Each structure stands twice: as C-alpha cells, then as structure tokens.
Amino acid sequence: MLAVIGGSGFNRWDALHVTGRIDAATPYGAPSAPLVCGRIAGREVLFLARHGDPHRIAPHLINYRANIAALRDAGVRRVVAFASVGGISADLQAGSVVVPDGILDYTHSRAHTFVDEQVEAVTHIDFTHPFEPDLRSHLLTAAAAAGIAVRDGGTYAATQGPRLESAAEIRRLERDGADLVGMTGMPEAALAREAGLAYAMLAVVANDAAGKGESAAAVALDGAQARFDAGMAQAREVLLALLRSDAEAP
C-alpha cells in the first residue's frame, strides 16, 4: 500500500474518499494524527498529516519515529512525502515542484533512528540514494504523463527550524550543494529507509530562501502564497497520475 505524508499546505486531502481512520499506537508514542484510510483513483491509500490536523506540530517536535512506525505497521510499503521548501537554486521559484535525489542533514536533537537499544549486531543502513530510485522515477513518469513540469533531482537540505535560516546559512547550504531547504525531510527519510519503506518526495517551493531573490531583505512567504498553492495543486496531480498508473499496472 502507498501512504502520503502531507506537509504544510496539505494537512487534509479533500479529494480522498475516506473509508476509515486508524488511531495508531506505537512503541514510540502516537503519530501526528490518525492515519486516514481512503480510496482515490481506484487505489487504497493512507494519508498522514505530518504536522497534525489542524497544523499544530512544529518540525522539531514531530514524532517522526511514531509516524513511520505507524505507517509500517499498517502495511505501507511506499511513501510519497509532500514538503514545502525554500528555493536556493536560481531556477526554483515559488510554485516549482521538485523530485529531489539528495539530502544534506543539518538537524539535531531529534529522535532519528530506530536503532536505540543495545542490539546484538549494529546495522548501518545504506543511504547513498536517500530517495528510493524506482519510486522517484515513477513520480517523474507520472508527472510527464500528466503534463506537469517538475524538476528531476536536487539536493534537499534539512534544517532544524522552526526559525527560518539566515542569509549566511543559506549561502553555506548552497556551497554545500543544496538546491532546496526544508525542515522535515530528516529524520523522516532515514527512518523510512530503516523501516524498509520506499520513500520519495514531492517538494513544492513556498518562497525564495533567505537572502535570495524576493527574499533578499526578509523571507517573502506571504507574497508567494498563491504560487505555492498552485504548485501544491500540481504536486497533487502528479500523485494522482502515479496512483492511476498503479491502478493500470498488471
């Protein structure tokens, strides 16, 4: 089964035909919200609002382990994570949709692993390609089929938040090779890998990152709302195209 983790701007999936809700309990506590079970485009899916519904949990306070454990325990195999991000690369504007292929992790003090007890043999998961390549390529094919322009690839920098970055921090992220910046991709992606879930991201640019373009003087969030909403609508279309192509698969 496929799960969708909705982020800022996608706390509730109005188009989903809801068939049930699961109040999941995990050894790590409760997830951000009940898992919403539903049908759309002929497929059964689960939806989880990463920040809760209504949006109330800040990025550094999200119980990422409970979220991923709850999805795994519900039988999920693939996760499409929506993320709102700041654009660092010059070709990214508010409303751009990106399917990233790399991660830089600047978060700290978050429960970031399921390997938290004395174990007999310590395992080190492979994280060379943090976003699962097959699921990424299915998203790109779905976007092409739906006629929606998405950027194929880009490095997502995960920052601690909840404050936005300084212009100097964004310059550093850029020197490090980051194209986009958000606050929730880690440890979410790594936990999904530990749990054996195929995880890929649809990132929607909400604003130019601090110090860039429209955010030269201050991060321009409000002025870009309409473009962000349009980008989110496009990202949801990509998701629908993915589910339709799943439904057609033999």
- Residues lying near ligand HPA in the complex (CB under 6 A): 84-86, 159, 164-165, 181-183, 206-207, 209, 219
DSSP-derived letter for residue 29 is B
Q: What is the dihedral of CA 104, 204, 10, 44, to 10 degrees?
A: -80
Using the minimum distance from each CB to ligand HPA, give the nearer residue, 36 or 85.
Answer: 85
Residue 12 CB, nearest distance to ligand HPA (Å)? 19
Give the residue with the Cβ less far from ligand HPA, 67 or 159: 159
Q: How far is the CB of 234 from ligand HPA (least distance, A)?
A: 17
* Least spacing, CB of residue 7 vs ligand HPA, in Å: 9
CB of 41 to ligand HPA, least distance (A): 28
Write down the least CB distance from residue 55 to ligand HPA, Å: 13
Residue type, position 9, single letter: G
Compare residues 132 and 208 and give the one whose CB is closer to ligand HPA. Answer: 208
User: Nearer Cβ to ligand HPA, position 67 or 84?
Assistant: 84
Of 48, 79, 78, 95, which Cα lies nearest the Cα of 203? 95
User: Which of residues 78 and 236 has its CB atom nearest to ligand HPA in the complex?
Assistant: 236
Q: What is the DSSP string of 144-195?
A: HHHT---EE--EEEE---SSPPPHHHHHHHHHHT-SEEESSHHHHHHHHHHT
The one-letter amino acid at 64 = Y
Q: Which amino acid is at 221?
A: L
Beta strands in the chain (DSSP E): 2-6, 17-22, 35-40, 43-49, 78-87, 97-99, 102-105, 151-152, 155-158, 180-182, 198-208
